[in-house]
Structure 1
């Protein structure tokens, strides 16, 4: 327990880290000043209150599971991500390391936790995820455009070029033959434009 007391003293005035401990009844036995200030909207005297009053109800099971692991492996630290009430109807995300506390006789005495706010990081992760989803969506759209350009559009265009070429070789008057030549040339130009669009889209 001496190490825990030294750690509590060291981080009591931290402006970044949360330090808390709970007893075997699941009640706060210690909170540092930073934690007390950040969650004073829940209760101004958290010590002696149930640990779960500051958190999202769905995260209670996470605490129970991680605490169980701590007592099964008292020399190890175990991580947990917990949502905490922000005082405005929402939640902040916090990341923790849990460790079992043992008394002088090596009996379970509670849980010691070191944590910090990761809300900004989670927000950036969500933005990145949305951006990746948008990129994937745009990529699929681009693939569809490439397919349509290279198959659905060029197929009938190739037919037009072929039919115009055949028509141009039949006995036509000079005016009609000239029109066929212009249709053929315009079709070939359009075909080259489509080829260029498909090529650029694939690079």
Structure 2
């Protein structure tokens, strides 16, 4: 729609399709000349809307409707906001490609000289301008006659696919199709021929002269003569190879990410606001199927016919709703292994899922089996309790007989070993030794309770 080489800021050119009621072309200098933003043409069919007095718009419309083919008028009007006075030359013509009536507007800040209109069937400034406009398009424009042969291709088509005009004009359109998709082009062509006025869309790969393939997207429509008979098929297309490459890369990334997620043993799933499954990785599907005997499916309710008990359904409904209300949190969930009846523990985090506008559309959940971790933690707690018990036994049960032994040894007569009193002390030492042995056994048993249980 925009000229890549706009005119100077003091003038601009606009081409308006009367039949389609839309601008086909406008130079970028339009915006500075009329002091408007880029949205103006999208919001107004008539580019003068809101810029000049409504009476002026009505007068310009009346003058335009009275124009004869190839006739011109000169209009002068003042912009309401800036009070800038502009002069416009407006000409009515026929687009040689589409057959539509078009208005050519040349606008400047100084009065323009009106030139005599040249006949449109002879090469002239307007025809040259239209040809230049067609060739400056970034889209492809082609015409195919009723026999399937090219009758016209624009410069963009030739440049993209590397052909000279003589290599295309008069040749069948199958020259620029690949064998695998030739039937698609044939079907689109016959659909246009058999349905005048119908827009037929086609996406297919088109080979260039050097053998490279381009992904292309087309809209075809038939062109009829005054009797309503189809004489040609016109196609407007564009090269979508970069978009298709980006899409392919995105699919590869998606597949890689999907493979990564499905190769983890952690459980990943999400539900929508109606608590229906939006996504589940393979680990979650397998775990739920193992626990309940029912395989969850995408789009299915997370609790109806799920195999879970009512209590579990009620609990998880609360969990999901907390996340759907914007809360981020984690819980420890307990399940029973159906094979051995043992408890399985999972740490589950809940996270709200937001749209770009900040609305919550679902809850994302991440579950991790922590059964082994809790088992290890319990063993560590038990071990700490045993160590505390050992420390207590060492400080009380063991120290008392040791202190008694040390006291008895200090009472012995070391100079006369056969002193009768030593015999009594030695007897007490045997008793204390037995107490020490019992205390040591108690410490050992507290250290290894399983061994003690087996011994007993």
Q: What's the TM-score once normalised by structure 2's chain length?
A: 0.33
Indicate the RMSD between aligned Cα atoms, in angstroms: 3.7
1:159 Cα deviation after fit: 8.1
Which residue among 375, 387, 400 is the counterpart of 1:158? 375
Distance 1:112 1:36, change over 3 A: same
* Partner of residue 132, structure 1: 254
Q: Does 1:25 align with 2:117?
A: no
Find the aligned partners of 2:147 and 2:190 in 1 and give their Cα distance: 14
Find the aligned partners of 1:67 and 1:54 in 2 and give their Cα distance: 14
Contact 2:162 2:208 in 1 (8 A): no
1:113 Cα deviation after fit: 0.5
Find the aligned partners of 1:47 and 1:158 in 2 and give their Cα distance: 80
Distance 1:175 1:38, change over 3 A: same
Higher relative contact order (CA 8 A, sep 6+): 1
Aligned residues: 176
1:79 Cα deviation after fit: 1.1
Find the aligned partners of 2:218 and 2:133 in 1 and give their Cα distance: 14
Please list every run of 5 or more consecutive structure 1 residues that lacks an aligned counterpart in the other structure.
181-203
1:175 Cα deviation after fit: 9.2
1:160 Cα deviation after fit: 9.4
Find the aligned partners of 2:442 and 2:136 in 1 and give their Cα distance: 93
* Partner of residue 46, structure 1: 168
Q: Does 1:5 align with 2:97?
A: yes
Find the aligned partners of 2:173 and 2:244 in 1 and give their Cα distance: 23
Distance 1:114 1:156, change over 3 A: closer
SS in 1 for 2:206: strand
* Partner of residue 193, structure 1: none
Contact 2:162 2:210 in 1 (8 A): no
* Partner of residue 85, structure 1: 207
Distance 1:6 1:160, change over 3 A: closer
Q: What's the TM-score once normalised by structure 1's chain length?
A: 0.68
Distance 1:51 1:42, change over 3 A: farther
Contact 1:24 1:108 in 2 (8 A): yes
Please list every run of 5 or more consecutive structure 2 residues that lacks an aligned counterpart in the other structure.
1-93, 100-129, 268-282, 288-345, 347-367, 390-440, 450-456
Distance 1:159 1:34, change over 3 A: closer
Find the aligned partners of 2:263 and 2:166 in 1 and give their Cα distance: 54
* Partner of residue 232, structure 2: 110
SS in 2 for 1:12: helix
**How big is each residue's C-alpha offset from its partner over 1:156-180, in whole Å with a ceiling of 9 and x where there is no partner?**
9738956x959x69x7644971x88
Q: Does 1:94 align with 2:216?
A: yes
Find the aligned partners of 1:3 and 1:78 in 2 and give their Cα distance: 22
Distance 1:100 1:123, change over 3 A: same
**How big is each residue's C-alpha offset from its partner over 1:109-162, in whole Å with a ceiling of 9 and x where there is no partner?**
1211111111111111111111122222222123x24569955x7359738956
Contact 2:197 2:223 in 1 (8 A): no
Contact 1:42 1:54 in 2 (8 A): no
* Partner of residue 58, structure 1: 180
SS in 1 for 2:215: strand
Structure index of larger Rg: 2
Contact 2:144 2:151 in 1 (8 A): yes
* Partner of residue 421, structure 2: none
* Partner of residue 189, structure 1: none
Find the aligned partners of 1:172 and 1:11 in 2 and give their Cα distance: 102
Find the aligned partners of 2:200 and 2:187 in 1 and give their Cα distance: 10
Contact 1:79 1:95 in 2 (8 A): yes
**Structure with the higher strand share, 1 or 2:** 2
Q: Does 1:34 align with 2:134?
A: no
